[in-house]
Chains A and B, each alone.
Chain A
Amino acid sequence: MQVYDEGNEVSDTELAQRNPKSGTSGSSMRWAVFSRVMAAIVGAYVLTLLSIAVLALVLPMSRAESVLLSMLLSFLIYACAVLWVFATRSAWRAWCGMLLPSLLMAAGLGLWWSLK
């Protein structure tokens, strides 16, 4: 006999309880969510922009092709970064994961720019 399970339904209250930030009060949770959303929209975008800039320079193809390929990959990178931001344990980690590699790549690009 077919048993109905609730499939992929998750109620909002359940979500609030299960949210990675569980155990904190309402307002700080709201901040954590807002912070993550910002990390996903802005942080991941900056990370993507910088990583495709680096890719465009290092890919072993003609200049036009490297630029094209890095732009083609950009949305994949962005989507993965967004998922990671929401999957990771805390908003704090999410920001670190976006900003640290971004800073590294920005530094690398700056160096390349000044050497050119």
Chain B
Amino acid sequence: MKDAFRASMAWVHTWAGLLVCWVLLLIFAAGTASYYRNEITLWMQPELHAIAPSQDSQAHMAERAVIALQQRAPDAKQWFIGFPNERSQGLQIFWEDKLPPGVEPTRERFHDVMLNPDTGLPLEVRETKGGNFFYRLHFDLHYLPVTLARWIVGFCAMFMLVALVTGVIIHRRIFKDFFTFRPGKGQRSWLDAHNITGVLALPYHLMITYTGLMLLMYLYMPTPIVVAYQGNNQAFFGELFREEPAPEPSGRPATLTSIAGLVTEAQRIWQGAAGEVSVDHMHINNPNDAAASVSLDKAGDNGLIESGMSLTFDGVSGKLLHEVDAEQRAVVQTATAMRSLHEANFAQPLLRALFFISGLGGCLMIASGAVLWTVKKRQAQAKRLASGLPPTWGLRLVEALNLGAIAGLPIAFATFFWANRILPVGLAARDEWEIHSVFIAWAAVLLLAQWRPGRHMWQLMLWLGGLMWLALPVLNAMLTPQSALFTTVLHGPVAVAGFDITAMLLGAAICFAAWRTGKVRSPKLSAQPKHRRELAETEVA
């Protein structure tokens, strides 16, 4: 009975994992990169590297942002001002066009510009999506309608959750094999690699999968909102976050109150024993209208539960309309904590690095699991293969997909950064072309993999990927010399230096994998009697 249970769990684990592993790998890799979304964006905008962090007050910055917004979009539906912080040095302004009634809203209605916080002038940067590409890719994929993509991602994540739980159930030796990795032993080594990357980062994997599903739960699990709010998501979120609905524009023009004054006022209200407080971002609804309102959100204090404090003022009289205090309700705190765990918003640089390492572990777990399946299948088909017959179509398909997805991934991601430095700055839709080049490169690898899915192709693609990553700092130094590693190490920005160093480390790791792939192991080793292998191992040690 117990064996039967374990066997069916093993079946579920195998197929739940295999069916979605390639998409899952993409989701995991993109998510892992998203931990450094701001740093990636900065690397991809070398024009900003020479700018020193602003020392000016937020009130002055807000003033400059409002001037810039008044010039660009005096009758927008809403404005947004994002203040510089440790991870992003620009002053961000963002606005949403007011649409005539009956016009279908599209993404085109949103605009954003990065300003120099000290001058209020727009920063001249190359067009790029930067780290936001990975962030969007992580749950919206690309080239697909957003809702469809999110359903696909949710489907894969649910498979992942099931694969994780069944994986724990069928792993008989979690503690005995805790630190065990035995390379060069074929199937055994792949299983070791899969186990070790899975088990050692298991808390992370479970957390990231569950909280990831949670982030889009209103889409996947709509029935509670249907029965309690007649399906009105906005009503639910409004009640949950105790938000007042934004007032409709009155149509009567009015002069905005001093935004800088409101920033100072908010800082005064929040000023407690905690020392200096700052505003994270602010919204101005219906600017230059009699029904204008301004809301400010307090910057988080690096806790798991974000501060969640916000103030809303009347945009004309400057009167305080509404105040939201720190969250007290346990359920909401839990949900907030789960969200910030997923996004690592609370994490300082070291903790963020640990999340990044665990994310890489997840990528390796998925990849090694996928390869393990083919290694097992090859062994099961050993007789057939020995007699000169080709592998079954299923095995060949999975082998080719593995090669294309796993070895193609580093190439595709590196292409993004290569394109960022190589594509001419004036190119039309330049940011789109950076992204197209990712998928063109990936498609090329997938095709090559279908054509000849063998060890040589693995080796070739891994070398290519590894060298592309290793060469990124060189490319950076050649095409944007002011951002070269030896400059950024000495004079900052730290994030750019960190990017170059990480790229080299990743490249070196991939090259190591390529080198290992080249050293074909004789399968006979695993046929040796057990004690002889054990002896050999001790000798090596």
Which residues of A does B touch, CB under 8 Å? 1-4, 7-15, 18-20, 48-50, 52-53, 55-57, 61-72, 74-76, 78-79, 82-83, 86-87, 109, 112
Q: Indicate if the CB atoms of B376 and A72 lie closer than 8 Å.
A: no
- The 10 A-B pairs with the shortest beta carbon distances in the complex, nearest first, are A56-B224, A53-B223, A18-B7, A74-B221, A67-B224, A64-B240, A10-B10, A65-B331, A64-B239, A49-B223
Q: Indicate if the CB atoms of B534 and A2 lie closer than 8 Å.
A: yes
Q: Which residues of A contact B224 (CB under 8 A)?
A: 52-53, 55-56, 66-67, 70-71
Which size bracket describes the interface of B in this complex? 35 or more
- Given known A1-B531, A2-B534, A83-B166, contact A71–B12 (CB-CB < 8 A): no
Q: Which residues of A contact B195 (CB under 8 A)?
A: 7-8
* B191 contacts A by Cβ under 8 Å: yes
Residue of A with least CB distance to B6: A10
Q: Indicate if the CB atoms of B331 and A69 lie closer than 8 Å.
A: yes
Minimum CB–CB distance from B428 to chain A (whole Å) comes to: 43
Q: Which residues of A contact B165 (CB under 8 A)?
A: 79, 83
Q: Indicate if the CB atoms of A8 and B173 lie closer than 8 Å.
A: yes
Measured in the bound complex, the distance between the Cα atoms of B264 and A85 in whole Å is 59
Q: Which residues of A contact B3 (CB under 8 A)?
A: 18
- Given known A57-B228, A72-B334, contact A52–B8 (CB-CB < 8 A): no
Minimum CB–CB distance from B59 to chain A (whole Å) comes to: 35
* B346 contacts A by Cβ under 8 Å: no
* B449 contacts A by Cβ under 8 Å: no
Stretch at the interface among B109-117, B118-126, B139-147, B210-218: B210-218
Minimum CB–CB distance from B347 to chain A (whole Å) comes to: 22
Minimum CB–CB distance from A94 to chain B (whole Å) comes to: 11
A15, A53, A72, A79: the one contacting B217 at CB < 8 Å is A72
Q: Which residues of A contact B177 (CB under 8 A)?
A: 7
Minimum CB–CB distance from A97 to chain B (whole Å) comes to: 15
Residue of A with least CB distance to B10: A10
Q: Indicate if the CB atoms of A65 and B332 lie closer than 8 Å.
A: yes
Residue of B with least CB distance to A79: B161
Q: Indicate if the CB atoms of A75 and B214 lie closer than 8 Å.
A: yes
Q: Which residues of B contact A69 (CB under 8 A)?
A: 331
Measured in the bound complex, the distance between the Cα atoms of B8 and A18 in whole Å is 8
* B304 contacts A by Cβ under 8 Å: no
Q: Which residues of B contact A15 (CB under 8 A)?
A: 7-8, 10-11
Measured in the bound complex, the distance between the Cα atoms of B171 and A7 in whole Å is 7
* B172 contacts A by Cβ under 8 Å: yes
* B179 contacts A by Cβ under 8 Å: no
Residue of A with least CB distance to B335: A68
- Given known A52-B223, A66-B228, A72-B338, contact A11–B380 (CB-CB < 8 A): yes
* B433 contacts A by Cβ under 8 Å: no
Minimum CB–CB distance from B165 to chain A (whole Å) comes to: 6
Q: Indicate if the CB atoms of A86 and B12 lie closer than 8 Å.
A: yes
* B236 contacts A by Cβ under 8 Å: yes
Residue of A with least CB distance to B372: A9
Measured in the bound complex, the distance between the Cα atoms of B158 and A49 in whole Å is 14
13 contacts between A and B (CB under 8 A): A2-B534, A7-B173, A7-B177, A10-B170, A56-B224, A63-B228, A65-B329, A68-B335, A71-B218, A72-B331, A72-B334, A78-B158, A87-B9
* B530 contacts A by Cβ under 8 Å: yes
